[in-house]
Amino acid sequence: MLKLFKSWTTHMDYKGQKLAEQLFQAIIILFAVVGFIWGYMCEQFVQTMYVLGAGFVLSCILTLPPWPMYRRSPIEWLKPRPEENSEDISKDKDKKQIKKKSKSK
């Protein structure tokens, strides 16, 4: 069960994270302003809290799951360099070869 949860990837790319943050901030502040005015008009502060709660739920729905809009610009990694260029890698390679030899014996 726990493995199933961990296997879900919920990451966003960097631009997606920025978009998500701006989106939920805008939604919550908008709902807060509307709720403040609405609560003042009907003389019930609890109405303000309800409207803010609605903003919270909406921004959760819109920004918690990694919707495709937050994964439009994935990071472009450099292609791996050819192994021969690096000494360290070649050393590792040598070791591996040695190991292989020893195994074959």
Partner 1 sequence: MNTFLSRLNTIFAFTLSVMAALTFGCFLSTAFKENKTAVDIGTTKAVVKNVPNFAASTRDRNDLGQIAFDLHTELSSLFNWNTKQLFLYLTAEYETKSNKLNQVVLWDKIIRRGETTKLDFKSMNTKYYFFDDGNGLKGNQNVTLTLSWNVIPNAGTLPRIQGEGSYIIQFPDEYKQ
Instruction: Give me the residues that bind partner 1 (CB under 8 A), please.
Output: 10-12, 17, 20-21, 24-25, 28-29, 32, 35-36, 39-40, 42-45, 48-49, 52, 55-56, 59-60, 63-66
| Identity of the residue, 43 or 84, whose beta carbon is nearer to partner 1 in the bound complex | 43
Residue among 21 and 94 whose Cβ is closer to partner 1: 21
Tokens of 91: 């050393």
Residue 63: Cβ-neighbour burial (10 angstroms; 0-12, 13-18, 19+): buried
Q: What are the b/e assignments for 73-93, b being 16+ CB within 10 Å?
A: eeeeeeeeeeeeeeeeeeeee
CB of 61 or CB of 98, closer to partner 1: 61
What's the min distance (Å) between Cβ of 99 and partner 1? Answer: 38
Please tell me whether residue 66 adopts helix, strand or coil conformation.
coil
Q: How far is the CB of 81 from partner 1 (least distance, A)?
A: 27
